[in-house]
Amino acid sequence: MRKNTWKFVSLFVVALMLFGACTPAVTPAPTEPAAPAEQPAAPPAPPAEPTKAPESPPTAPAASEASVTVVHYFSDTLGKETVTKIFDSFTKESGIKVIDNTTGHEDFKAQILVMLAGDNPPDLFSYWAGARVQFVVDSDRLEPIDDMWASEGLDEVIPPAVVKGSIYNGKKYLVPFGYHYAALFYNPKVMQQVGITEFPTDWEGFLAMCEKIKAAGVTPIALGSMNRWPAQFWFDYLLLRTAGPEYRAKLMAGQAAYTDPEVQKVMEMWKELVDKGYFVKDANAYDWTDASDQVANGKAAMTLMGTWITGYWNGNGLKPVDDYDFFPFPTIEKGVPNAVVGPVDGWVMSAGAKDKEASKKLMTFLVKNTDASATWAKGQGALSPNKNTDPSIYTAVMTKASAEVAKAEVFAFNYDLATTPPMAEGGLNMFAQFMNDPSKYQDYLVETENVAKEVFKK
């Protein structure tokens, strides 16, 4: 099985391009789309760019000068500035040079696999904890870091729930850099204007709130699914709140079917929201920052998004609590464990890293240095994986988000990080098709199950 995995990576790159080519055409944007804010979008997802040929990391300097080559997807202006500041601090402290080869967020997904399959992989690269790391671990392309983890006492620094995202096949491979929580972020002024003073905790209350907002002439929900991934949070939470985390884990692993009644129920509930006009029209014509702008300017009341939206809004001059806030996704079925959804961004080391000791020093710095953790958390609207990070760096909204994560029974990676990359492509494609025409969801489920049968060889 393992010896065939890396061959499958190459097939995945081809499949990724094919899935991109067969993504359904989106409806043209309305004549008055929400204008993107002047500030660039925060990670994790800038607008997609055309897939281009991967570039190898720059040639490292002479052996006498310690260095670490790094590839990451923090390519927007804010992310690039923040991570560069952290790298510069590391170099000043350690004398080790960081050779940074940033790549576009969407391009990165295919490029890093090609780089790892080649002869000149980067020493370190950013990656999302979950199935994507597992996929590369199973291909023998990552270096375990158990020795560094133990010598640096990282179990004393990182909360146990986050540590779980670092362990694959019984070994530690990833140091977390920041994590996020997805919730329903809303415009408080709009909610006040339409008479919403309390936020729902169950599904019936949520539907009633949406109807009240719509009756007041405001679109309840903004969604920018141009790049597919923002739609996944609706699928995730509806499935987690109905079928539960155990069933979802089976679906992610190919042990359940997309044609199961549990998944059909989710799509029916989602379709009801669309059919009632609760979502913005032409969601596939917008990206996630457009949807964020629609909430900020009052054209929509709320959007289901990760906490990185706070970094974007803060950069645009919005004030936490006054201009934006959130409430948790409501419960649906009683007795289902309380799960929260979100990604963990981290750093992993290539098995072919040229200077593993220097790489480990950088990895340690990125997770253990409290100044670095605080700089990243503040710049990205992220929660720090370092327990020693000063909590005063968080806004009131982020403090509340941290509390919601702390009391959750399950922390679930979002869809495209919870299943294998080839399966994620099939699922994301389904979500985009659904937002384009929800009436054909049964066909999409059959198509997606066919992808699952091929991926998992059912």
Q: What is the pLDDT of residue 78?
A: 72
Q: Residue 140 — very low, low, confident or very high, per pLDDT cuts 50/70/90?
A: very high
Angle, helices 356-368/370-380, rounded to nearest 10 degrees: 70
pTM: 0.82
Give a yes or no: residue 153 inside a domain.
yes
Domain presence at residue 411: no
Has residue 5 been placed in a domain?
A: no
Cα–Cα distance between 308 and 313 in angstroms, integer? 9
The answer to whether 302 and 221 are in contact (CB under 8 A) is yes
Alpha-carbon span 326 to 305, nearest angstrom: 10
Q: Are residues 305 and 430 in the same domain?
A: yes
**In this structure, are 355 and 271 located in the same domain?**
no
Share of the chain above pLDDT 70, in %: 86
Q: pLDDT value at position 9? A: 52
Nearest of 179, 160, 174, 192 to residue 324 by alpha carbon: 192
Regarding beta strands 97-102 and 67-72, do their DSSP bridges make them parallel or antiparallel, or are they unpaired?
Answer: parallel
Let me know if residue 294 belongs to a domain.
yes
Q: Among the listed ranges 26-40, 93-107, 164-178, 198-212, which one has the minimum average pLDDT value?
A: 26-40
Confidence of residue 110 (pLDDT cuts 50, 70, 90): confident
Count of structural domains, the chain:
2
Report the alpha-carbon distance of residue 455 to residue 420 in Å, rounded.
Answer: 8
CATH (domain of 241): 3.40.190.10
Round the average pLDDT of the chain to a whole number and report it: 87
Report the range of poorest mean pLDDT among 289-293, 391-395, 447-451.
Answer: 391-395
Determine contact, residues 82/375, Cβ cutoff 8 Å: yes
Alpha-carbon distance of 378 to 64, in angstroms, equals 36
Residue 262 contacts residue 245 (beta carbons within 8 Å): no
Question: Can you tell me the distance from the alpha carbon of 246 to that of 54, in angstroms, rounded to the nearest whole number?
Answer: 37
Instruction: Please tell me whether residues 175 and 187 are part of one structural domain.
Output: no
Range name among 65-79, 127-141, 184-198, 353-367 with the lowest pLDDT average: 65-79
- Mean pLDDT for 94-110 is 88
Instruction: Mark whether 303 and 430 lie in a shared domain.
Output: yes
pLDDT confidence of residue 107? 85
pLDDT tens digits for 414-444? 999 999 989 999 999 999 999 999 999 999 9
Domain match, 64 and 90 both? yes
Q: Rounded distance, CA 405 to CA 361, Å?
A: 29
124 and 173, same domain (yes or no): yes
Task: Give the containing element (helix H, strand E) for 167.
Answer: strand 167-168
Whether the predicted pLDDT of 189 surpasses 60: yes
User: Are 343 and 306 spatial neighbours (Cβ–Cβ below 8 Å)?
Assistant: yes
Does residue 408 belong to any structural domain of this protein? no
- pLDDT for 47 beyond 70: no
The β-bridge relationship of strands 325-327 and 182-186 is antiparallel
Nearest to 431 by CA among 254, 239, 278: 239
Q: Are residues 202 and 176 in the same domain?
A: no
pLDDT of residue 411: 92
C-alpha 169/C-alpha 401 separation (Å) is 30
What is residue 323's predicted lDDT score, i.e. its pLDDT? 98
Q: CA 122, CA 115: separation in Å to the nearest integer?
A: 8
pLDDT, tens digit, 9 for 90 and up, residues 338-377: 999 999 999 999 999 999 999 999 999 999 999 999 999 9
pLDDT the model gives residue 300:
98
Question: In the prediction, which pLDDT does 160 show?
Answer: 85
Domain membership of residue 393 (yes or no) is no
Q: Helix or strand or coil: residue 184?
A: strand
Instruction: With both helix axes pointing from N to C terminus, report the angle between 288-296 and 308-315 in degrees, rounded to the nearest 10.
Output: 60
| Residue 234, amino acid | W
Quick one: 172 and 70 in the same domain? yes
364 — phi, psi (to 5°)?
A: -60, -45
Same domain, 358 and 383: yes
pLDDT band of 31, cuts 50, 70, 90: very low
Q: Would you say residue 307 lies in a domain?
A: yes
Q: What are phi and psi of 164, to 5 degrees?
A: -55, -30
Helix (H) or strand (E) holding 6: helix 2-22
- Classify 185 as helix, strand or coil: strand
Tokens of 108: 């990165």
What per-residue confidence (pLDDT) applies to 76? Answer: 80
Q: Is residue 270 part of a domain?
A: yes
The predicted pLDDT at position 12 comes to: 52
Q: Where in the sequence is the domain holding 439, given as residue range(s)?
A: 182-341+417-456
- Whether residue 150 sits in one domain with residue 81: yes
Q: Do 367 and 253 lie in a common domain? A: no
Query: Distance (Å, rounded) from C-alpha 402 to C-alpha 29?
Result: 36
Give the containing element (helix H, strand E) for 335: none
**pLDDT at residue number 325:** 98
- Distance in angstroms (rounded) separating the CA atoms of residues 194 and 216: 6
Cα-Cα-Cα-Cα torsion 231, 232, 234, 238, nearest 10 degrees, comes to 160
How far the first Cα of the chain sits from its last, in Å, is 15
Nearest CA among 329, 295, 34, 42 for reference residue 188: 295
Residue 105: predicted pLDDT:
77
Q: What is the DSSP letter of 158?
A: S
- Above 80 in pLDDT, residue 39? no
Q: Are residues 234 and 166 in the same domain?
A: no
What is residue 128's three-state secondary structure?
Answer: strand
